[in-house]
Amino acid sequence: MRTYETTHPWIKFQFDQRQIHPKLWILLGEAQSKCEHIAGVPLRPATAAELHRLYLAKGALGTTAIEGNTLSEKEVLDQLDGKLRLPPSKEYLGTEIDNIVKACSSILKELRDSNGVSEITIEGIKKLNKQVLEGLPINEEVIPGEIRTYSVGIEGIGYRGAPAEDCEYLLNRLCEWLNTNFRIFSDKEFGVVIALLKAIISHLYLAWIHPFGDGNGRTARLLEFKILLASGVPTPAAHLLSNFYNETRQEYYRQLTRASQTGGDIITFVEYAVRGFVDGLKIQLKTIQEQQLDVVWRNYIHEMFKDMNKRSEVRLRHLALDISKQKEPIPMDKIKDISPRVAAHYARLSSRALPRDIKFLVKMDLIETTSEGIRAKKELISSFLPYRRKNQVKI
């Protein structure tokens, strides 16, 4: 009998999917559907790059902030762009971010080189821990990427990791379990559902085992990221869980504690994580939908002017398009400054030209004047959507 069986009896390597209640199955199905939608929607190159950059920053910040990193999201974005300058006493904060970003890039390269096939191995988990701790000030007894030989605890929640003498054995058991025994449906048909369950449970078990002297949480969240990415979850979505755990940090720790104190209640922690994941997907889809509506709106403007090729008509089209780019209504006296091409159009015309063009676009129902200024009537695009009753009747 191994020591952990007495000290950590909740580490059972068991998961009974029959305990999953219908609401959680629905959430898992919703997660798979939304991931497929995000992965299948073409985005403008600039939008795709910004979405990737933003959620890479959120994921890197989320997983390090839980461990005490105090950088803001803007500072992390600046770090990604090589613009952040930190005093020597705080340089380690930037290094923590860099380590996560490099690890994510390494995982992505590994999956591409292996055509998406990725076994979970003890050496792979050790590699993640080494990447997490590289170049950071750590205790002398901590060897990055090496399993600890002493007892460790999690500050703030009073949890102690599994006995050091059992950590190697437990990591091997975890890898074997996740690779061979974690089967629910056909992987091809429900790949994201399986991966989401596997990722969250692997995270929970790594937190329980706590096999390393430092960096266990970041290692667990990177393993989670790797499993999601390997299943086909698009890169921005694969960062959502780390961001969610940070945004709900107290609940995150409460759920981790509860899972062990209840003798290994996996389902409650899974539900907590899946709900956060789905909420994050909804936010990403809203961003994508806004881009799609903008594309349709811009196409609509071009369609309205498709038979108009005179200089004045080109000017009107440019004016309508550039007003559409503004997030807030523009005062009339600021219209000429909204873009270089609009400024160039009206620089050589009389002061009456711009008000006349504004009236023409109002008549075309492309813009409107309000007390705050002039705005594009993008809401017209909603009329192109299928009818859907807002106040749905309960059945």
The rounded average pLDDT for each run of 10 residues, N- to C-terminus, in the chain (395 residues) is 92 87 94 91 83 91 93 94 94 95 93 77 95 92 93 80 95 92 64 92 95 94 94 91 94 91 91 96 90 86 78 87 90 90 90 90 90 88 70 52
Assess whether the region 4-289 and the region 305-384 belong to the same CATH fold.
Answer: no
**Which distant-in-sequence residues (6+ apart) come within 8 Å of 207 by Cβ?**
154, 216, 217, 220, 256
DSSP output for 185-245? S-TTTSHHHHHHHHHHHHHHHHHHH--BSS-HHHHHHHHHHHHHHHTT--HHHHTHHHHHH
What pLDDT does 395 receive? 47
What pLDDT does 1 receive? 82
Length of the chain: 395
What pLDDT does 294 receive? 85
- Residue 77 near residue 57 (C-beta atoms within 8 A): yes
Query: How many CA atoms lie less than 13 Å away from 3 in the CB half-sphere?
Result: 11
Long-range contacts of 15-21 (CB under 8 A, 24+ apart): 15/182, 15/197, 15/201, 15/266, 17/184, 19/267, 20/267, 20/270, 21/267
For 370, list phi and psi in degrees, rounded to 5: -125, 175
CA-CA distance, 355 to 255, in Å (whole number)? 60
What pLDDT does 390 receive? 63
CA-CA distance, 296 to 230, in Å (whole number)? 33
What pLDDT does 387 receive? 66
Short-list 200, 211, 197, CA closest to 166: 211
**Which homologous superfamily does the CATH classification assign to the domain defined by 4-289?**
Fido-like domain (1.10.3290.10)
Q: Do β-strands 367-370 and 373-376 pair in parallel, antiparallel, or remain unpaired?
A: antiparallel
**Where in the chain are the domains?**
4-289, 305-384
Long-range contacts of 251-256 (CB under 8 A, 24+ apart): 252/66, 253/156, 253/157, 256/157, 256/159, 256/204, 256/207
pLDDT tens digits, 94-145: 999 999 999 999 999 988 888 755 789 999 999 999 999 999 998 889 999 9
- Residue 189 near residue 26 (C-beta atoms within 8 A): no
- Residue 213 near residue 141 (C-beta atoms within 8 A): yes
Short-list 289, 318, 279, CA closest to 382: 289
What pLDDT does 83 receive? 93
Short-list 58, 61, 79, CA closest to 70: 61
| Architecture of the domain whose range is 305-384 | Orthogonal Bundle (1.10)
Long-range contacts of 217-220 (CB under 8 A, 24+ apart): 217/63, 217/66, 217/67, 218/63, 218/64, 218/67, 218/100, 218/132, 219/125, 219/128, 219/129, 219/132
**Which distant-in-sequence residues (6+ apart) come within 8 Å of 387 by Cβ?**
none
CA-CA distance, 130 to 135, in Å (whole number)? 10
For 137, list phi and psi in degrees, rounded to 5: -75, 115
CA-CA distance, 164 to 141, in Å (whole number)? 13
What pLDDT does 40 receive? 85
**Which distant-in-sequence residues (6+ apart) come within 8 Å of 162 by Cβ?**
4, 7, 8, 11, 170, 208, 209, 210, 211
